[in-house]
Amino acid sequence: MKCDDARAAFLAGQVGRAESEHLETCAECRAEMPSLLETRRIMESATFWEEPPADLEDRIVGLVAGPGPKKEPAEKPPRWQLAVVGAAAVVALLLGVFLVQRTPSPDWEVALPGTAEAPLAVGVVSGWNEPGGTRMTLDIEGLPPAPNGFFYEFWLSAGDLHISAGTFTEAQGVELWVGVTRAEFPRLWITLEPIDEDESPSGVNVMDTA
């Protein structure tokens, strides 16, 4: 399979076994995964497909042509209306600042392909370096919910040293935090774990950057 065909299928949401196998063997496509996921998020947004207003062309022509004949100034609104509008603008500005500060661009992103245990799974890990550790979000497709009696566990590893960043049962809206940095533990991977008292990795590896 060619890279263009695999990327087009991914953007169309048609990821099958052939596309997953291509991703496992193609480093260039794995490197493109963050931008492909961002493009898909934009394309799946309802606002991306909204029809423009019917009078948009006339408004653009009017702006290009310049102002028309001078009109009489409209009556000024009461002071209380101005105060309400001003307060609403301040609230909107503060909310925008809060959202920007709360969700800055990630410090790093890395493709997370599926293994033979989950050949249809593809995803991206986004990470933020914070004081005392790392915050991460997972954007994964093709990984089914964990079966009854099992859960998924996310690991950061350096050689034989493995640090768990948390567990989940469905790969939807997963956000994790761990008290180490990826620079110290470069390998990122996910295992399927039975619900038991054993805290070590099970060996059932479903997604892996290694």
Three-state secondary structure of the chain: CCHHHHHHHHHCCCCCHHHHHHHHHCHHHHHHHHHHHHHHHHHHCHHHHCCCCCCHHHHHHHHHHCCCCCCCCCCCCCHHHHHHHHHHHHHHHHHHHHHHHHCCCCCEEEECCECCCCCCCEEEEEEEEECCEEEEEEEEECCCCCCCCEEEEEEEEECCEEEEEEEECCCCCEEEEECCCCCCCCEEEEEEEECCCCCCCCCCEEEECC
Lowest mean pLDDT segment, chosen from 92-96, 192-196, 199-203: 92-96
Q: What is the pLDDT of residues 98-139, one digit of tens each?
A: 444 455 789 999 999 999 999 999 999 999 999 889 999 999
Task: Report if residue 83 sits inside a domain.
Answer: no
Residue-level pLDDT at 23: 74
Lowest mean pLDDT segment, chosen from 4-8, 20-24, 132-136, 171-175: 20-24
* Domain count along the chain: 2
Residues 112 and 195 reside in one and the same domain: yes
Residues 123 and 201 reside in one and the same domain: yes
Is 56 or 191 the better-scoring residue by pLDDT?
191
Residue-level pLDDT at 100: 43
Q: What is the pTM of this model?
A: 0.57
Task: Report if residue 200 sits inside a domain.
Answer: yes
Residue-level pLDDT at 63: 67
Residues 37 and 118 reside in one and the same domain: no
Task: Report if residue 8 sits inside a domain.
Answer: yes
Task: Give the mean pLDDT of 11-30.
Answer: 76
Task: Report if residue 84 sits inside a domain.
Answer: no
Residues 131 and 203 reside in one and the same domain: yes
Task: Report if residue 148 sits inside a domain.
Answer: yes
Q: Where in the sequence is the domain holding 187, given as residue range(s)?
A: 108-208
Residue-level pLDDT at 68: 57
Task: Report if residue 80 sits inside a domain.
Answer: no
Percent of the chain with pLDDT over 90: 45
Residues 201 and 112 reside in one and the same domain: yes
